[in-house]
């Protein structure tokens, strides 16, 4: 038999959640104070006659109530909480089967029994949430997307299980977004969240789906975070668009902000893509900076350098920023002749105009002009006019020839143009700096080199000889021509053969206006050096500087001999092409004597004697460079000697004069074939020769006498030394054997090779019976200062080959070329 459900008693409601605890209230307070509950019974309606729980305080149990629970229904899950207020039956780990109506019967000792009912509702929470994307796929890792900016998305949330059916709601943070759920089936409730036109602000927003059917336990929820692909907010080239130097590496940075994921960045020059640049992403992944290493060229000026960034997944998301390039560079300069001028066809006197074409950024602040490396300046007086980019040379001269460049300068540097060679054509002119006076002894061959300057240098030469008696055109077969040089050689045999030679060059532009003039004079020994001064005198060295005297028409050398002034002993000697000497390794505080003389192939000059005393060692401190050069006075002894020599010379000159006058009659006979004009002038010519104190007569008689004079003079001074030197000189080496005696004192010096000799020249073989010249000899030697003709030591046959005024007609008759041609100069 089952108990009836029709108990008309008060009814409470209780709610619990599956697995949680339920409290079933039951008031056991007695209605009267002196009463007490004795027994509490709990029944579950619809079940059996047995109660499910009893709380027994009857009799002996009054202070130790007995709890009893039905094992099969409640087990250990229930306890009657008699001491709590309100008193209730606590039911743990609620099961679904616990749902139902419970009746509590309270028996009191005195009062009527109290029955009350509790309806227990058991809530089953929703079990599971599924969040699905618009394709119905489960969302992995709780990240939804990525979606492109602007896309619309629906997110479906489905709650499974739960009784009563749960409410399914979408939240974003604390904002309720969507509470419109719909029931799919008994077990499934869904809510679809629609997000329209996703924007940047939606990025990483968290959307939470929540399902709940009670207020007791926390709702179950599932959150997804929205991931978006975003187009860049902006692309910007960093820094200012400054001018860039061509050829230099520049780092240009470009930032792309706001793109997601990392944007694709590229660099363009105009429409040309540039090489991949280095990219760096900021720590917040919001900003990407691309660094381009850019080496601009001049041609890049005006082009647009742009940086682009795009989000690959979003179409038309490309943004760009560009700079119009301003490339600064060293001026590029091209030099050209102005107008229709032909650089190779300019004649002297013509106006020339150069144009300097400049390409430059920034524009040049200066244009300079150079001629053979030398800076040019505006000078209207010489017809040089420099304007901005042009150079006008008015009435160019041959000095204007050479390489012209223009140099344009800007902040980037200097740009030099191509060299332009200005070739000014001009009529030959005599080359300056030639030896104009040439000394030669009678019977000696002399070679006169006429050098001219001309452009073009293809020159026809013509020579004239003007003696005191006549003027003769020299036949071309007597001289050689090699471009701008012509060599004429002859052997003066008489006084009439001395005179002036004129040489003209002629090129396509015309004939030389002023001839080159060479005076051939009888050669003599050189003059003594003058104005000697001692500088830098120290304890053991000194320096001597003298001025050279007339060289006698030939190249001269300078000799120095050092003697101990006290013992008169020879110490050392030295030679030089200039009268400058440095003597070292001297003893301190000692008296020395120095003899300096010049020598050429005609003889030796008068000696110049100097005496000096080296500084004492203790005086060393006094010597310094600042000391003025110590001018040595000729000692009284020297003065006396000079006086004697002067007197002797005067005597000798008188003798020579007498001799010359007597000899001139012989000369006249030998030169009888020459023109009568020359004869008239013979007295003048002779006179001029006699005036020259350096002329050394070729007559052996005079030379013997002179030699003896020198010898006696020298021997008296340095008998031992001269004797020793004399024997060591081989006379055969000298062409001028007669001089070898006179110069025997200095032959050791003559025998030495002149410095800076030109390589031996090969004389060409001439197919002539008369001229068999096969000598390899130094023809021309140069000193450091200038080129001079020196005597030929060997090759006597040459004398026959050379023209002499006496031979002239004779050779013409022979119809032969007796010319020595120097193949190389």
Partner 1 sequence: MDYYWRCWVFWHLCAIWNYGVNSLKLTTLHIEKHTVRGNNSLLECRFDLEGEALYSVKWYKDGHEFFRYIPKDYPSTQTFLLPGVKVDRRHSNESQVLLTDLTLASTGRYRCEVSAEAPSFQTVSEHGDMVTVALPNEGPVITGGRPRYQVGDKVKVNCTSGLSKPPAHLTWFINGEQVNSSFLRGPFKSYPEEEGLERAILGLEFQVEPKHFKSGDLKLKCLATIATIYWNSNEESVEGEKPQRAPVLEVKDTGHNSRADRVQGQSLH
Binding site for partner 1 (CB under 8 A): 1, 3-4, 6-9, 39, 41, 43, 48-51, 54, 56, 58-59, 66, 68, 70-72, 105, 107, 110-113, 115
Beta pairing, strands 437-440 & 516-522: parallel
The smaller minimum CB distance to partner 1, of residues 7 and 582, is found at 7
The smaller minimum CB distance to partner 1, of residues 107 and 690, is found at 107
**Smallest distance, partner 1 to C-beta of residue 90, A:** 20
The smaller minimum CB distance to partner 1, of residues 108 and 463, is found at 108
Helices and strands counted in the chain (H then E): 9, 59
Tokens of 187: 């077990």
H-only helix segments in 671-779 = 676-680, 682-691, 700-717, 719-726, 737-742, 747-750
Rounded to whole angstroms, how far apart are CA atoms 446 and 555?
Answer: 13
**Smallest distance, partner 1 to C-beta of residue 66, A:** 7
The smaller minimum CB distance to partner 1, of residues 59 and 730, is found at 59
**Smallest distance, partner 1 to C-beta of residue 94, A:** 21
Rounded to whole angstroms, how far apart are CA atoms 689 and 499?
Answer: 11
The smaller minimum CB distance to partner 1, of residues 48 and 398, is found at 48
Rounded to whole angstroms, how far apart are CA atoms 119 and 101?
Answer: 4
The smaller minimum CB distance to partner 1, of residues 107 and 279, is found at 107
**Smallest distance, partner 1 to C-beta of residue 69, A:** 10
Tokens of 233: 């907010």
The smaller minimum CB distance to partner 1, of residues 50 and 95, is found at 50
Burial 103-117 (b: 16+ CB within 10 A, else e): bbbbbbeeeeebbbb
The smaller minimum CB distance to partner 1, of residues 105 and 478, is found at 105
**Smallest distance, partner 1 to C-beta of residue 71, A:** 8
**Smallest distance, partner 1 to C-beta of residue 31, A:** 11
**Smallest distance, partner 1 to C-beta of residue 115, A:** 7
Of 425, 234, 272, the residue nearest 345 (C-alpha): 425
Rounded to whole angstroms, how far apart are CA atoms 378 and 384?
Answer: 6
**Smallest distance, partner 1 to C-beta of residue 93, A:** 19
Angle between helices 719-726 and 700-717 (to 10 degrees): 130
**Smallest distance, partner 1 to C-beta of residue 23, A:** 22
The smaller minimum CB distance to partner 1, of residues 6 and 174, is found at 6
Q: What share of the chain is helix, strand, coil (3-state, %, to 5)?
A: 15, 40, 40
Tokens of 376: 């040019």
**Smallest distance, partner 1 to C-beta of residue 5, A:** 11
Cis status of the peptide bond prior to 164, with omega within 30 of 0? yes
SS3 state at 543: strand
> What are the two backbone dihedrals, phi and then psi, of residue 721, each rounded to the nearest 5 degrees?
-65, -45
Rounded to whole angstroms, how far apart are CA atoms 262 and 267?
Answer: 16
Tokens of 254: 């470009």
The smaller minimum CB distance to partner 1, of residues 73 and 563, is found at 73
SS3 state at 142: helix
Dump the DSSP string for 485-531: EEEEEE---SGGG-EEEEEEEEETTEE-SS-EEEEEEE-BPPPPPEE
Rounded to whole angstroms, how far apart are CA atoms 164 and 212?
Answer: 9
Query: With contact defined as beta carbons under 8 Å apart, do 80 and 55 qualify?
Result: yes
Dump the DSSP string for 761-792: EEBPPPS-SS-----EE--EEE-SS-EEE---
The smaller minimum CB distance to partner 1, of residues 50 and 673, is found at 50
Of 597, 605, 555, 577, the residue nearest 440 (C-alpha): 555
Rounded to whole angstroms, how far apart are CA atoms 160 and 173?
Answer: 23
The smaller minimum CB distance to partner 1, of residues 57 and 190, is found at 57
SS3 state at 457: coil
Question: Rounded to a whole number, what is the distance in angstroms from the first to the last CA of the chain?
Answer: 158
The smaller minimum CB distance to partner 1, of residues 54 and 556, is found at 54
**Smallest distance, partner 1 to C-beta of residue 48, A:** 5
**Smallest distance, partner 1 to C-beta of residue 2, A:** 8
Rounded to whole angstroms, how far apart are CA atoms 392 and 404?
Answer: 12
**Smallest distance, partner 1 to C-beta of residue 198, A:** 60
The smaller minimum CB distance to partner 1, of residues 33 and 625, is found at 33
Q: Could you say which DSSP state residue 296 is in? A: -
Cis status of the peptide bond prior to 146, with omega within 30 of 0? yes
Tokens of 166: 């749960």
Cis status of the peptide bond prior to 362, with omega within 30 of 0? yes
The smaller minimum CB distance to partner 1, of residues 69 and 314, is found at 69
- Torsion angle, CA of 616/617/622/627, rounded to 10 degrees? 60
**Smallest distance, partner 1 to C-beta of residue 29, A:** 17
The smaller minimum CB distance to partner 1, of residues 9 and 619, is found at 9
Query: With contact defined as beta carbons under 8 Å apart, do 438 and 489 qualify?
Result: no
The smaller minimum CB distance to partner 1, of residues 80 and 518, is found at 80
**Smallest distance, partner 1 to C-beta of residue 85, A:** 25
Find residue 812's DSSP bridge partners. Answer: none
Strands (E), 230-326: 234-237, 244-245, 250-257, 264-269, 272-273, 278-281, 287-294, 304-310, 319-324
**Smallest distance, partner 1 to C-beta of residue 55, A:** 10
The smaller minimum CB distance to partner 1, of residues 50 and 680, is found at 50
Work out the angle at residue 304's Cα, subtended by the Cα atoms of residues 300 and 310, and round it to the nearest 5 degrees: 135
**Smallest distance, partner 1 to C-beta of residue 38, A:** 9
**Smallest distance, partner 1 to C-beta of residue 116, A:** 10
Cis status of the peptide bond prior to 23, with omega within 30 of 0? no
């Amino acid at each position: 038999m089952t108990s009836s459900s029709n108990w008309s008693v008060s009814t409470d409601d209780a709610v619990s959640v599956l697995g949680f605890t339920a409290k079933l209230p039951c008031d056991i307070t007695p209605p009267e104070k002196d009463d007490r509950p004795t027994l509490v019974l709990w029944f579950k309606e619809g079940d059996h006659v047995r109660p499910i729980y009893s709380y027994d305080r009857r009799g002996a149990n009054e202070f130790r109530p007995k709890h009893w629970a039905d094992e099969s229904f409640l087990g250990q899950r229930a306890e009657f909480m008699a001491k709590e207020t309100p008193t209730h039956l606590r039911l743990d780990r609620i099961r679904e089967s616990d749902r139902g109506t419970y009746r509590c019967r309270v028996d009191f000792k005195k009062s009527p029994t109290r029955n009350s009912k509790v309806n227990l509702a058991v809530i089953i929470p929703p079990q599971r949430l599924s969040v699905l994307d618009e394709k119905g796929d489960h969302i992995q890792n709780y990240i939804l997307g990525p979606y492109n900016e602007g896309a619309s998305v629906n997110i479906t949330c489905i709650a499974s299980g739960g009784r009563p059916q749960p409410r399914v709601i979408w939240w974003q943070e604390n904002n309720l977004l969507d509470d419109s759920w719909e029931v799919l089936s008994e077990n499934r409730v869904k809510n679809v969240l629609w997000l329209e036109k996703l924007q940047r602000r939606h990025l990483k927003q968290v959307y939470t789906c929540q399902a709940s059917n009670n207020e007791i336990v926390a709702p179950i929820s599932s959150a997804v975070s929205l991931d978006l692909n975003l187009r860049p907010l902006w692309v910007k080239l960093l820094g200012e668009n400054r001018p860039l130097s061509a050829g230099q590496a520049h780092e240009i940075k470009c930032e792309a902000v706001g793109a997601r994921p990392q944007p694709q960045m590229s660099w363009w020059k105009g429409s040309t893509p540039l090489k991949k640049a280095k990219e760096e992403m900021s720590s917040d992944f919001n900003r990407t900076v691309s660094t381009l290493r850019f080496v601009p060229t001049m041609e890049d000026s005006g082009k647009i350098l742009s940086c682009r960034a795009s989000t690959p997944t979003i179409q038309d998301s490309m943004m760009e920023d560009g700079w119009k390039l301003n490339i600064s560079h060293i001026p590029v300069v091209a030099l050209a002749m102005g107008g229709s001028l032909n650089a190779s066809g300019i004649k002297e006197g013509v106006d020339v105009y150069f144009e300097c074409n400049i390409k430059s950024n920034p524009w040049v602040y200066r244009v300079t002009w150079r001629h053979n490396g030398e800076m040019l300046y505006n000078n209207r007086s010489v017809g040089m006019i420099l304007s901005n980019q042009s150079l006008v040379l008015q009435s160019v001269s041959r000095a204007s020839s050479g390489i012209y460049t223009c140099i344009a300068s800007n902040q980037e540097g200097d740009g030099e143009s191509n060299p332009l060679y200005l070739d000014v054509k001009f009529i030959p002119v005599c080359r300056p700096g030639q030896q104009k006076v040439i000394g030669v002894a009678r019977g000696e061959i002399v070679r006169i080199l006429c050098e001219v300057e001309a452009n073009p240098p293809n020159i026809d030469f013509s020579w004239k000889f003007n003696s005191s008696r006549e003027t003769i055109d020299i036949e071309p077969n007597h001289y050689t021509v090699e471009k701008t040089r012509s060599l004429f050689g002859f052997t003066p045999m008489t006084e009439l053969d001395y005179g002036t030679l004129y040489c003209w060059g002629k090129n396509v532009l015309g004939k030389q206006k002023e001839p080159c003039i060479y005076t051939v004079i009888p050669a003599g020994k050189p003059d003594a050096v003058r104005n000697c001064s001692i500088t830098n005198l120290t304890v053991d060295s000194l320096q001597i500087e003298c001025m050279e005297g007339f060289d006698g028409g030939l190249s001269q050398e300078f000799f120095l001999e050092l003697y101990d002034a006290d013992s008169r002993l020879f110490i050392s000697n030295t030679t030089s092409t200039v009268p400058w000497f440095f003597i070292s390794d001297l003893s301190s505080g000692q008296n020395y004597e120095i003899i300096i003389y010049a020598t050429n192939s005609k003889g030796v000059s008068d000696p110049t004697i100097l005496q000096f005393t080296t500084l004492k060692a203790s005086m060393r401190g006094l010597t310094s460079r600042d000391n003025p050069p110590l001018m040595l006075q000729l000692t009284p002894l020297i003065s006396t000697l000079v006086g004697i020599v002067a007197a002797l010379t005067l005597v000798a000159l008188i003798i020579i004069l007498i001799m010359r006058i007597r000899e001139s009659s012989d000369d006249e006979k030998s030169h009888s074939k020459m023109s009568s004009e020359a004869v008239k002038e013979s007295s003048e010519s002779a006179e001029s020769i006699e005036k020259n104190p350096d002329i050394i007569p070729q007559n052996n008689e005079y030379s013997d006498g002179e030699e003896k004079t020198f010898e006696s003079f020298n021997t008296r001074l340095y008998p031992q030394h001269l004797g020793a030197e004399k024997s060591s000189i081989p006379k055969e080496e000298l062409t001028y054997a007669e001089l070898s005696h006179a110069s025997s004192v200095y032959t050791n010096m003559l025998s030495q090779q002149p410095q800076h000799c030109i390589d031996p020249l090969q004389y060409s073989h001439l197919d002539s019976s008369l001229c068999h010249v096969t000598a390899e000899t130094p023809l021309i030697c140069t000193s450091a200062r200038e080129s001079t003709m020196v005597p030929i030591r060997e090759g006597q046959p040459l004398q026959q080959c050379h023209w002499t005024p006496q031979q002239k007609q004779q050779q013409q008759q022979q119809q032969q070329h007796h010319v020595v041609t120097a193949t190389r100069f």
